[in-house]
Amino acid sequence: MINYDITIHTRDKQQVSFVCSEAEDLLSAADRESILLPSQCRKGTCGACVATVTAGTYHLGEVSMEALPEKAQARGDVLLCRTYPRADLILEAPYDYNYIRFERIPEREAEVMDVTMVATGTRRLLLRLQPDEQGGAAEFEAGQFMEIQVPGSDARRAYSLANNTNW
């Protein structure tokens, strides 16, 4: 199997590099090397893992036209979860280096305490984290989200985080 060198330049002019085979998508290859790039669905439908190829050839798998319109594809935009290298690649990312993680995001268990319909298509989900080595609270910044997975399944969904001003 052929491996290619992948280099991603961030908005703040830093870079991260990893190796990817032609049978592996870029996001999975980075993840395998503990480089956790911004992403969400990993299915080509959300657009969270967008980047622009500035050098090299690749195969772009099936993507949602809402996540990556043809006009964006024509200028070299790709979704990392659906991009397979055919040569060494250089990409530009629309985010700064500090958005890349080099350690696993901790998985925590929680109990659903309440689900309330707030508006059409909007629900309030009240969770109680099970205490562990990180304690019983979750620290987060405005704009962050939490991905919740149903135990024993692949069902996942991202939820925006909110909390009262007093912890």
* pTM confidence score: 0.76
Between the ranges 47-61, 93-107, 124-138, 146-160, where is the mean pLDDT highest?
47-61
Environment class of 152 (CB within 10 Å of its CB; exposed 0-12, middle 13-18, buried 19+)? exposed
Quick: pLDDT tens for 57-67.
999 999 999 99
Quick: pLDDT tens for 55-98.
999 999 999 999 999 999 999 999 999 999 999 999 999 999 99
Token pair for residue 40?
Answer: 């969400």
CA 65 to chain CA centroid, nearest Å:
18
Residue 112 has pLDDT above 90, yes or no: no
Q: Choose between 158 and 68: higher pLDDT.
A: 68
In order of their start, the domains of the chain are 3-99 (3.10.20.30), 110-160 (no CATH)
Q: Among 84-88, 99-103, 149-153, which is the least confidently predicted range? A: 149-153
